[in-house]
């Protein structure tokens, strides 16, 4: 069984017990969170596809931690002009464990 959910402007394929990393959510670690924007659910007896979302479907997960990702280097350069700019960035994300998919 798996589902496709939408959060933070992105879509994720999730299944129960899976660990995923999504854009940072405003909740405390250890709390439960429910995703109402479910696009697709694959069950043993068939597939349910939303138009665009499935009504009365939800995915429940537990927030494990808020962490930062790997460093990304942004380097701007213009040849022959002595122009160089180097900047680093680390994006915040939330680690989740998917508990349940309910339709």
Block mean pLDDT (10 aa), the chain, length 103:
96 97 96 97 94 95 97 98 98 97 93
Q: What is the pLDDT of residue 11?
A: 97
- Determine the pLDDT at residue 2: 97
Q: What is the pLDDT of residue 30?
A: 96
Query: What residues contact residue 82 under an 8 Å CB cut-off, 6+ apart?
Result: none
Q: How far apart are CA 82 and CA 76, in angstroms?
A: 11
The reported pTM is: 0.86
CB-based contacts of 16, cutoff 8 Å, min separation 6: 1, 98, 99, 100, 101
pLDDT at 102: 95
The total of structural domains in the chain comes to 1
């Amino acid at each position: 069984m798996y589902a496709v959910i939408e959060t933070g402007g992105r879509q994720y394929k999730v299944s129960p017990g899976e660990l995923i990393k999504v854009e940072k959510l405003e909740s405390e670690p250890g709390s439960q969170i429910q995703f109402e924007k479910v696009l697709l659910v694959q069950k043993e007896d068939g597939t349910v596809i939303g138009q665009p979302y499935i009504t009365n479907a939800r995915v429940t997960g537990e927030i494990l931690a808020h962490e930062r990702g790997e460093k990304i280097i942004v380097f701007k350069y213009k040849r022959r002009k002595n122009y160089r700019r180097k900047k680093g960035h680390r994006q915040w994300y939330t680690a989740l464990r998917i508990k349940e998919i309910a339709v």
